[in-house]
Every structure is written in C-alpha cells, then in structure tokens.
Amino acid sequence: MNRALRPLVATTAIFILAYMAAILQFPNMLSTRVIGNLLTDNAFLGIAAVGMTFVIISGGIDLSVGAVIGFTTVLNAILIMWVGLHPFAAFAISLIIAAAFGAVMGAAIHYLKVPAFIVTLAGMFLARGGASVLSPDSIGIKHDLYTSISKSYILLPGGGRLTIIAMIMLAVFAAGIILAHRTRFGSYVYALGGNETSAALMGVPVARTTILIYTLSSTLAGLAGIVFSLYTSAGYSLSALGVELDAIAAVVIGGTLLTGGYGFVAGTFIGVMLQGLVQTYIVFDGTLSSWWTKIVIGALLFMFILLQRLVFSASTPTRNVFWKT
Amino acid sequence: MNIIKKFALVAGMGALLSSAAYADGLQGKVIGFSQIGSESGWRAAETSVTKAEAAELGIDLKFADAQQKQENQIKAIRGFIAQGVDAILIAPVVATGWDEVLTEAKEANIPVVLLDRGVDAPEDLYLTSVASDQVKEGAVAGQWLISTVGDKPCKVVEIEGTVGSSPAINRKKGFDEAVAAVPTITIVRSQTGEFTRSKGKEVMEGFIKAENGGKDICAVYAHNDDMAVGAIQAIKDAGLKPGTDILVVSIDSVPDIFSAMVAGEANASVELTPNMAGPAFAALDAYLNNGTIPPKFIITESKLYTPADDPQGEYDRRKGLGY
C-alpha cells in the first residue's frame, strides 16, 4: 500500500470502528436519520474545513474562519430583513465581501511577509467585531426562500433527510477534491506547502497562489455562513465561535500535515464526520458531560500528530544512532 | 422576553406544581434536556434540580450541555429526535432560529417544552413554556415592603440590575408599581449595581453618603441577592445594622441571602426558582398519559422567603445545587 495514504486509511478505519462501537451500544445510531443529521448539522463546519485544508496544505493557517461565518450570517440577515434584498442578492454580496476579505489577508501575508497566524488573527477580530457592530442581537430571517429551502430535502428510507445544505457541503467536498488533485492550482498549493523557495524556483506563481488560497478559504467561510444562516434562519454575531479550531482539528484528523505540503480533502470529510459522531454519541448517552467531545477530539489530534511523525520519519531514511562506533 | 406580557394573562399553575397528582406517570420515559450551559450559579442549580427531579420520577434524562452555542443545541435536539425520545426540554440560548428543528420534532410527534426563556417561533411548534414572571417578582418584593412598614413614612433606595437587561427592567417595573400605590413609601434613589456584589456595595456606599449617613434610608431593594449582600456589607461598614436600621429586600433566593437572614441582616428574598423542570414534567405527564393540553405559558411561583421560613434549612437545601 502507498505509504502516503496511511493517515487517510487510519482515519477512515477509526471512524468505521467508532461508528460500529456506537451502534453496538445504541442500535438507533444506525439509521439514515443519524446519518442525515451528521451531514446537515456539520455542513457549515465541513464547508469551512475544505478551505482550511487548502490553507494548511500550503503551510499556512486561517484563524478568521469562524468570525467570517458569524459576520456573513449577520450581513445576510441585515440585507434580507432590513434592506429588503432577495436572499440570492444578499448571498452574492456576502460572498463577494468574504472573498475580498480573504484576498486582502492573502496579500498582506505575501507582500508584508507577516505570518498567516497574525494576519488572520487580525482578520478574526475585525470580522467578529464588525458583526457585533452591525447588530449585537440575533436577527431572525423570515423569507419564503428560507422556508422553502428548510422544507425541501430528499427523504431517505428510514426517515432520514438529505437536506439542501448537506448537499451543498457534499458538492463543496467534491469540488475541493478535484481542485486539489486535478488542477494546476492544486499542485501549486502542494508545492508551496512543501517548500516555498523551491516552489518559486520551479516557477510557481507564489503571490497569486497565496492570495487565491486565502480568497478561497474566506469565500468558503462566507458560504459556510450562508449555510449557517439557512440552518438557523437567523443572523447572530456570536454564532460559530471557535469553528476555525474545529476546522483545523478536522483537517489534521483527516491526515493533513500541519506543516504543509501533504494532505487530502477527502480526509477532512472523515475528520468532520468523526467530530459529529462523537457529539452524537454523547447526546445518545445523555449522561456524559458534553465537554468529553473536546477531550476525545484532543486525544485524536494528539494521536494523529504522533502517527504522522511515525509515518514520515519512516519514509525518510534517517538512521537513528545513539553512539558512533 | 416579550412573552412576559402574555404570562400576565395566565392563571397560576398551582395544581400542576404538585406532581403527586400523577403518580409514577413518567416512570421509564426518556426525556432529552438541552441546557444552555453553566454560565451562572442559577443555571447550574437549574441543571442539578432538573436531574434530581428526573431521578425522583424515574425518568431516563438525556442531558446535553450546549456550551452557549445554538448549533450545539440544534444538534442535541436532532440527536434526541433520532433517538426517539418521549419528550424534549430546551432552555434556548437565543430566541431566533428554532422553527426548522422544532418542526422536525413536531413531525416526529415529540412534545417540546421550553424552559425559562421564550423563542420567536410559531406557538404550535411547542407544547408549553415554563418561565418566571419577572414583573411579579418585583411586585412580590414591593408587597412585602408595604405590609412590613405599614403607614409609616419610608424612603427606599433601589439597586438596579444591568441597564437595559430584561430582569432589571421588569423587576423595577413590578416593584415601583406596587409601592406607588402607597404614598408614604417613596423611592428616593435608584442606580445600577450591574447584578454584582462589588458594584452593589459601591452603589450602597454612595446612597448612604447622600442620605445623611444612611439615617434617612428605611429600606433597600436590590434586583438580585448578590447586590443585596454587597449592600449589607456597605451598611455594616457605615456603622448601621442591616435588617434592623435599614430593611433589605431582594430577588433570587440564592444560598448566601439565607445565611444573611440567619445572621439577621436580610429581611426578605423573592425566589426565582431553579425548578423549571418540575412544572414541565407535570405538564408532560398530563399530556403523555391523559392527552391534556397544558396552557401555552406556565408561570413558576414567585415565593417570598423571610427569616420566619427556616433560613438555615433553606441554606442547607440549596448549597449543594451549584449556586
């Protein structure tokens, strides 16, 4: 087996084993309803995590994701409820603003040579603060389109629902997989994460690629915000707090190397589902503190970091000698 | 909290409060409870009281702490539906955004009861909601003062909660309207203590300085017990006796106010009961077993506690609840 695929196989195996263990304890967990819920409830996280996967593969980080989601929900609510725009017009404006926001961050990272951590931290404060200035209160969205979207779903056998927002997430993952593995932009992202200097020497357009990566991440965060506002039919400045960290966790659990240059978009999907599975298990159990979700995710993260170390130190033939003879 | 107005129209639910009427009706039922989090002592007490009530009734309670996030609450509710629970309790973190998930619960024929906060969703999406009436809490405190001072002239100082917050607005309204009926009782000063102990003390110190070293003040009304405890400290620091020289009345009934009553330093506290689940379980019992539709808004009792009500016993009963 290809050694590079090991983390992906490990994540998938853990997910299947965990799911089977959960089913043994609660047979109800094996229902299309639970699977539909996993997809719908984690749709916004999944969409944001696709963007995060590209950022991390390129060796960067984007801490502004959760705040951009929150900002987009508020902006959408205001444009639809106060300004009176049609939701599709509001979506377009939100996505354009989110994309521009990401492009500015990408440009700052590249041209000012500031670490992505700092630039996106500033972006996080700006977006979260901006959302609270727009409206500190939660704004309910009442529009026919919202009602019809939340009412339309494909009924799966067994009462499960494949909702529109779940389908949007699946489509984003499919597009992300193609973009990462089948396009020139995708190979530039991997090259940039491997080694920026050699990537530049090989002719990778570093400036354009960096800006595009952060534009992609912010646009997807904006899309996640739209999905979140469809999910709750409301805009709230404090929604999706800390989602960037859940997204990073999903990416790492999915087998992407935090130092960049290596990873899979498909793995991120399993990472998101694994987090959702832990939460669902805790709800089904009903006696465990919900903070166990964090503990399990923390343990998984730690395990994957160790696993990556093992896989990658095994693939590079370095000899560990304690003393020389 | 705009539904508070509607609460005023609903009669007391005394009959529902006694769960004895429905003996072991919820035995073995599975009920999901989506709690906001544990951001305050009262919230923690609500959680432990709910768990205790459920254990007493033999309910299999599935508890989910949402850590202040609506998305976690929606996930938990969806999880409950997938699990096929018999009923769901929700203490909603925000008012908006519940239509979809509540519709899903309704379609699955699972009754939903809202606890202590309302939602902006059509009323047919939930069975009932259980909450306190904050205006009434203030009114009960005002009535106590009227009955205590009688027709003697009385200058009252008021320590308000956080400006603009609904408990501060409603508790002020209830109290001010009650004492306005008696011309001898006048509210001479009113200022915010932001619901905190330290700010309550600071505000009371200011009042004492302004009112002739506190000699002109007959009573202090604080919007919560924490500020009252701060005020008691300020009164003591000024060389006066709280509870005797200056009457102290407040709202919430947390353990600390009962220890102040034991020491004779506080005179009355109106309870904001953490037992929202008791009436909710009673309503669910009647609904699930007899098909009785409860009123849309169930108001909890705003019980008045004074030193005559065994404050030591009340303190002991509450201290383990997580306040």
What tokens appear for A209 in the block? 């690629």
pLDDT tens digit sequence for A25-47: 999 899 999 999 999 999 999 99
pLDDT at B22 over 50: no
Residue contacts between A and B (CB atoms, under 8 Å): 96
Q: Which residue has the higher pLDDT, A237 or A311?
A: A237
A47 Cα to chain B: minimum distance (Å): 15
Confidence band, pLDDT 50/70/90 cuts, at residue B15:
very low
**DSSP characters over A211-257:** HHHHHHHHHHHHHHHHHHHHHHTEE-TTTTTTHHHHHHHHHHHTT--
pLDDT of residue B86: 96
Does the distance separating the beta carbons of B69 and A282 come in below 8 Å? Answer: no
Does residue B305 lie in a domain region?
no
Does residue A291 lie in a domain region?
yes
Specify whether B155 is located in the same domain as B206.
Answer: yes
pLDDT of residue A113: 93
- Tell me if ipTM is over 0.90: no
Does residue B309 lie in a domain region?
no
User: In this complex, is the C-beta atom of B322 within 8 Å of any C-beta atom belonging to chain A?
Assistant: no
For chain B, how many residues are written?
323
User: In this complex, is the C-beta atom of B96 within 8 Å of any C-beta atom belonging to chain A?
Assistant: yes
pLDDT at B12 over 60: no
**Chain B residues inside the 8 Å CB shell of A33:** 81-82
What domain range includes position B126? 4-132+274-300
For chain A, how many residues are written?
325
pLDDT at A312 over 90: no
Confidence band, pLDDT 50/70/90 cuts, at residue B39:
confident
Of B62, B72, B82, Cβ closest to residue A37:
B82
pLDDT of residue A313: 66
Q: Please report, for the domain that includes residue A201, its CATH number.
A: 1.10.3470
Q: For residues A177 and A122, what is the distance between their CA atoms, to the nearest angstrom?
A: 29
Specify whether B138 is located in the same domain as B267.
Answer: yes
Total domain count, chain A:
1
Please say whether the beta carbons of A97 and A75 come within 8 A.
yes
pLDDT of residue B56: 93
A191 Cα to chain B: minimum distance (Å): 37
Does the distance separating the beta carbons of B75 and A41 come in below 8 Å? Answer: yes
**Chain A residues inside the 8 Å CB shell of B103:** 150
Q: What percent of chain A has pLDDT over 70?
A: 94
Does the distance separating the beta carbons of A40 and B76 come in below 8 Å? Answer: no
Does residue A66 lie in a domain region?
yes
Specify whether B140 is located in the same domain as B263.
Answer: yes
B100 Cα to chain A: minimum distance (Å): 7
Specify whether B89 is located in the same domain as B162.
Answer: no
Q: Which of B41, B15, B198, B35 is nearest to A290 (CA)?
A: B35
Confidence band, pLDDT 50/70/90 cuts, at residue A315:
low
Which of helix, strand or coil describes residue A264? coil
Residue with tokens 């719908």: A40
B18 Cα to chain A: minimum distance (Å): 27
**Whole-number average pLDDT of chain B:** 89
Does residue A288 lie in a domain region?
yes
Rounded average pLDDT over A253-268: 92
Rounded average pLDDT over A175-183: 96
Specify whether B128 is located in the same domain as B139.
Answer: no
| Rg of chain A on CA atoms, in Å | 20
pLDDT at A132 over 80: yes
Which sign does the torsion angle of CA A148, A154, A160, A162 carry? negative
Specify whether B279 is located in the same domain as B266.
Answer: no
pLDDT of residue B129: 94
Rounded average pLDDT over B9-15: 39
Total domain count, chain B:
2
Mark which of B256, B271, B286 sits at the end of a domain.
Answer: B271
pLDDT at A102 over 80: yes
A35 Cα to chain B: minimum distance (Å): 10
**Chain A residues inside the 8 Å CB shell of B80:** 283
User: In this complex, is the C-beta atom of B176 within 8 Å of any C-beta atom belonging to chain A?
Assistant: no
Does the distance separating the beta carbons of A232 and B74 come in below 8 Å? Answer: yes
Does residue A319 lie in a domain region?
no
**Chain B residues inside the 8 Å CB shell of A28:** 82-84
**Chain A residues inside the 8 Å CB shell of B76:** 283
Rounded average pLDDT over B276-280: 94
Q: Please report, for the domain that includes residue B12, its CATH number.
A: 3.40.50.2300
pLDDT of residue B68: 86
Q: Which residue of A has its CA nearest to B36?
A: A290
Does residue B208 lie in a domain region?
yes
pLDDT at A206 over 60: yes
What are the beta bridge partners of residue A163?
A153
Position B192: which residue type? T
pLDDT of residue B164: 79
Does the distance separating the beta carbons of B80 and A41 come in below 8 Å? Answer: no
Q: Which residue of B has its CA nearest to A27?
A: B83
pLDDT at B130 over 50: yes
Does residue B150 lie in a domain region?
yes
pLDDT at A317 over 80: no
E-strand stretches of chain B: 30-35, 60-65, 87-90, 112-115, 128-131, 154-160, 185-192, 219-222, 247-252, 268-271, 297-299, 304-305
pLDDT at B53 over 50: yes
Which sign does the torsion angle of CA A283, A288, A289, A290 carry? negative
Position A47: which residue type? I
Mutate to test the interface with A, among B48, B51, B83 (most CBs of A within 10 A): B83
pLDDT of residue B166: 83
Specify whether B120 is located in the same domain as B166.
Answer: no
Say which residues have a Cβ less than 8 Å from residue B148's Cβ, sequence separation at least 6: B247, B267, B268
Does residue B187 lie in a domain region?
yes
Q: For residues B185 and A100, what is the distance between their CA atoms, to the nearest angstrom?
A: 62
**Whole-number average pLDDT of chain A:** 91
Specify whether B141 is located in the same domain as B263.
Answer: yes
pLDDT at B9 over 60: no
Does residue A325 lie in a domain region?
no
Question: How many C-beta atoms surround the C-beta of residue A137 within 10 A?
Answer: 13
Three-point CA angle A249, A252, A255, nearest 5°: 145
Distances (CA, A) of A277 to A38, B76, B79, B116: 7, 12, 11, 30
pLDDT at A117 over 70: yes
Of B79, B97, B103, Cβ closest to residue A234:
B97
pLDDT of residue B5: 44
What domain range includes position A49? 3-313
Three-point CA angle B114, B118, B122, nearest 5°: 90
pLDDT at B1 over 70: no
Does the distance separating the beta carbons of A239 and B64 come in below 8 Å? Answer: no
Does residue B317 lie in a domain region?
no
Rounded average pLDDT over A179-208: 93
Does the distance separating the beta carbons of A233 and B83 come in below 8 Å? Answer: no
pLDDT at B79 over 50: yes
Q: Which residue of B has its CA nearest to A241?
A: B69
Specify whether B56 is located in the same domain as B122.
Answer: yes
Does residue A192 lie in a domain region?
yes
Specify whether B148 is located in the same domain as B162.
Answer: yes
Please say whether the beta carbons of A190 and A264 come within 8 A.
no
Q: For residues B241 and B235, what is the distance between their CA atoms, to the nearest angstrom?
A: 7
Q: Which of B228, B246, B254 is nearest to B317 (CA)?
A: B254
| Model pTM score | 0.83
Rounded average pLDDT over B131-150: 95
Please say whether the beta carbons of A73 and A228 come within 8 A.
yes
Which of helix, strand or coil describes residue B58? coil
Confidence band, pLDDT 50/70/90 cuts, at residue A101:
very high
pLDDT of residue B143: 96
pLDDT of residue B319: 87
User: In this complex, is the C-beta atom of B37 within 8 Å of any C-beta atom belonging to chain A?
Assistant: no
pLDDT at B7 over 60: no
Does residue B294 lie in a domain region?
yes
Q: For residues A56 and A1, what is the distance between their CA atoms, to the nearest angstrom?
A: 25
